[in-house]
Each structure stands twice: as C-alpha cells, then as structure tokens.
C-alpha cells in the first residue's frame, strides 16, 4: 500500500512538473501569426538634432517616446522598428538615399533590447522616406493580421524620386490592408502636405507634434488602435458592365477607379434578404473643386432599383454614399423573390493635367446581406428617400396649420368686434 501511494504521489509530481513545463507555442514565441503588426519608422536624419521640442532635441523626444511606447506595448501586438538616415553622415546623395535598415524585427518584443537599440541612435544623414516605406512594407510581411506603419519624421523626403506619396499609393494598391500613419515634428507646409498625402493614400492619419507628451500619446494610441479587430478588406476588380462583373458576397472590398470612371459588381440577393451597400472614393491627390460619387443598384434587365449619391466642392479626403434594397418574400412554388443585383460605383472627380492618373482613386465597397424587414416598402434608400411620404406629411401638416391659423384669426376678429 505504501509503495502504491508513493508511486501515485510520484506520478502526480511528474504530471505537475510536465504541466508546469508545457507552454503553448504562441505563449513562448509571442503573439500568434494572425495578430496585429506595427512597424515604427523613425527619421534619424541630421535635422533631428534640432532643439525645439520642450527644450530638447527632436531625436531625444522621439527616443523617450519610443521607451514609453515599448513599455506600454499590448501583449497581442507584434512590433518592429526601422530607421532612415541613421548610418551615413556624408554628402553623397546616392549613398544617403539608400540609408534605411530594420533596427528591430517585427515580432515578440524584448523590451530591454528594443530600448537599447533605440538609445544608440544619433541624428546622422538623409531622409529617404520612400525607401523606408517600401522596406517597412516588406518587414511586415503578409502572414495575416492587420499591418500598420507609423512614420515619425521632421521633414519631407530629401531624395526626390520616387515620390513618397506615389509609393504610398503603390503600397495601398496591393490590397494587403496596409495603413500608414504619419507624425510630423516640423511644421512647414511642404512637410505637412507630403505627410498628409502619404497618410490619406493608405487610409491613415497625419498629426503635427509640438511636444514630447503629444508624440508619446499619439504613438501609443496608434499602436493600441492596431489591436482593434477590423474586417479584412478583400481586393477586387470591377468590370465595365454588369454582365462581366465579379460576384461579391458580404464583406469589404477594395478597388481602384480612374477619374469619372464607372465600375460594376454583382451581388446575389436571396428571397427575404435586404442588401445594404456603401461605397467611398478617396481623393488621395489634388482634384478640381466640384465632384460627386454615385452608387446604383440595377437589375439584370437594366432597370434601376435604387441609388445613393453625394456631392461636394472644395478640398476633401473622401466621398461616400450608400443604399438599401430588399427583395420580396419567397413564394410557395419557388424562390421567386431572389435576384442578382448589379452595383455601379461611379465618380465625377477631375484633376488638373499635371496630376497623375495612375493608379486610380482608392474605392472601398462594403456589402452586407441581412434579413429583410416584414414591410420592405417602409425602407428608404440613403440619398433617395420616399418622396411621396414626405410630401404627404408636409401636405397634411400644412393643411392642419392653415385651418388652425384661420380659426384663430376669425376668433380674434370676433372678440375685437364684441369689444
């Protein structure tokens, strides 16, 4: 009995030891492969030695911000760091414009190692932003998870071609769900214009930074934002006509559209379903003042079912509109309520001749299919309200108001005569 108990105790101890030593692969290796990825891209060019942020240099402010961000890094985010202008101090532009390298690989972060690597940086060389963006895109890979680049710089690209804004459009056109956020430590118009263009081309944000706390807070916010689950955007290529258009299900789709172009997509809407669709076209470059976006739902016979539209004038970043369309209920003798709906997305953007046309403007199309309400006639399309309902309400309201006003007028006259 004693031997049996000792064997049992030994077995329990062995199991406990094994259990304590077994660590899930993702816990040992860091966040899983489908977790968000962020690469911080830091400008280490010579101008970062300028002392205009809270009495210290721009480089010092960035290093302190990086320390705080690394300490507060969420467990589910894979982080990497890339530099530009960090190694070549000379005047040879050709060499200086190749100066970008990955300082810390994207993945699980050893906080001590990452902070030590950043602490060794000293303002040195040129500002090859385009090269750094392409390098960061490769660093992030395509193995799943959202992909975000946070670019911190104090000036515009000093290398000329390729233009960073065009590179940002090129990266966005790949459809790999890349977002580039830019933070500017200098406040001149050229830097602001270039960094804004880079961000807008990829659906990111631009922020001007004047204080270290602002820099720290903004980078932390962007890193945390990468953790927020977002639906994966699927690349798609619309057609010139409904008959050859790609068939879409529910989801979010990314495409490119030339100025004043029409693109078609098909959605199969079953009996008792309601189609909800929205489309946005981003003005990621200079455009003329007047513009608009149209989204139409059309039957296969060419008959328009419903439409949504929006228009504007002046500077804009994006124009969006949407619509809703519900099929009828299925009949007992067949699925007669189902139909294929053709979605047409078109824009009336134009631009000066000097503006590049390729790649086209970014288009995002969101499609959802939900259970139709019991009374589809109660639906109103975005941008296409049921006008006769509004007219009837206004008419009845006007009639009642007129009768009430007439009665009050007569009563006042009667009272005046009696007095």
User: What mean pLDDT do residues 338-361 have?
Assistant: 91
User: What does the CA dihedral 158, 226, 187, 134 come to, rounded to 10 degrees?
Assistant: 10
| CATH number for the domain formed by residue range(s) 29-225 | 3.40.50.410
Residue 400: how many CB atoms within 10 A of its CB?
10
**Secondary structure class of 195 (helix, strand, coil):** helix
Could you give the strand order of the β-sheet that contains 304-313, starting from the edge strand earlier in sequence? 247-248, 262-269, 339-347, 290-299, 304-313
Angstrom distances, CA of residue 251 to CA of 248, 278, 365: 8, 11, 8
Same fold yes or no, 29-225 and 233-378: no
Show me where the domains of the chain are located.
Answer: 29-225, 233-378
Query: Is the model's pLDDT at 377 over the cut of 70?
Result: no
Half-sphere exposure of 297 (CA within 13 A, CB side): 28
Cα gap 307→313, rounded to integer Å: 21
- Which of 93-102, 365-374, 386-395 is the most confident on average? 93-102
Q: Is 33 exposed, middle or buried (0-12, 13-18, 19+ CB in 10 A)?
A: middle
Give dist(CA 366, CA 253) in Å, integer. Answer: 6
76 phi, psi to nearest 5 deg: -90, 10
- Looking at residue 158, the DSSP 8-state letter turns out to be S
pLDDT value at residue 19: 39
Name, in order, each residue with C-beta under 8 angstroms of 196's C-beta and a sequence gap of 6 or more. 182, 206
Calpha distance 63→340 (Å, rounded): 56
Average pLDDT over residues 331-336: 50
- pLDDT for 203 beyond 90: no
> Read out DSSP for 295-308?
EEEEETTS-EEEEE
- Distance, in Å, from the CA atom of 99 to the CA atom of 131, rounded to the nearest integer, reads 8
C-alpha to C-alpha distance for 2 and 11, rounded to whole angstroms: 14
Strand, coil or helix: what is 193? Answer: helix
Quick one: average pLDDT of 55-77?
92
Q: Give the pTM.
A: 0.55
Checking if the pLDDT of 29 tops 90, the result is: no
Q: How confident is the model at residue 3 (pLDDT cuts 50, 70, 90)?
A: very low
For residue 373, count other CB atoms closer than 10 A to its CB: 13
Q: Which CATH class is domain 233-378?
A: mainly beta
Cα separation, 87 vs 102, in Å, equals 12
């Amino acid at each position: 009995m004693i031997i049996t108990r000792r064997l049992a105790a030994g077995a329990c101890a062995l199991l406990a030891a094994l259990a304590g030593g077994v660590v899930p692969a993702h816990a040992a290796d860091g966040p899983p492969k489908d977790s968000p990825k962020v690469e911080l891209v830091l400008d280490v060019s010579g101008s970062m030695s300028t002392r205009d942020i809270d009495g210290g240099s721009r480089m010092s402010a960035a290093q302190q911000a990086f320390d705080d961000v690394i300490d507060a890094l969420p467990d589910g985010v894979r982080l990497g760091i890339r530099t530009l202008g960090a190694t070549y101090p000379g005047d040879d532009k050709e060499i200086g414009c190749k100066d970008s390298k990955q300082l810390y690989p994207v993945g699980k972060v050893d906080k001590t190692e990452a902070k030590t690597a950043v602490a060794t940086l000293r303002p040195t060389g040129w500002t090859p932003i385009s090269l750094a963006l392409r390098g960061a895109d490769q660093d992030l890979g395509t193995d799943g998870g959202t992909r975000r680049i946070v670019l911190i710089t104090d000036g515009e690209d000093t290398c000329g071609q390729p233009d960073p804004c065009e590179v940002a459009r090129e990266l966005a056109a790949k459809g790999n769900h890349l977002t580039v956020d830019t933070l500017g430590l200098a406040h001149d118009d050229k830097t602001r214009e270039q960094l804004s263009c880079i961000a807008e081309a990829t659906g990111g944000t631009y922020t001007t930074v004047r204080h270290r706390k602002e820099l720290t807070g903004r980078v932390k916010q962007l890193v945390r934002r990468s953790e927020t689950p977002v639906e994966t955007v699927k690349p798609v290529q619309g057609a010139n006509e409904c008959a050859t258009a790609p068939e879409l299900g529910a989801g979010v789709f990314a495409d490119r559209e030339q100025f004043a172009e029409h693109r078609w997509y098909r959605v199969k809407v079953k009996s008792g379903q309601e189609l909800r669709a929205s489309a946005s076209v981003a003005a990621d470059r200079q455009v003329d003042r007047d513009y608009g976006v149209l989204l139409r739902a059309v039957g296969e016979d060419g008959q328009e079912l419903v439409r949504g539209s929006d228009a504007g004038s002046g500077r804009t970043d994006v124009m969006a509109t949407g619509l809703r369309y519900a099929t009828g209920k299925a009949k007992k003798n067949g699925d007669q309520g189902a139909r294929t709906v053709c979605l047409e997305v078109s824009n009336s953007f134009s631009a000066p001749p000097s503006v590049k046309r390729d790649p086209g403007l970014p288009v995002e199309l969101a499609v959802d299919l939900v259970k139709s309400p019991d009374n589809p006639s109660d639906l109103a399309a975005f941008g296409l309200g049921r006008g006769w309902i509004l007219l009837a309400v206004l008419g009845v309201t006007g009639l009642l108001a007129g009768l009430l006003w007439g009665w009050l007028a007569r009563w006042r006259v009667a009272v005046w005569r009696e007095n």
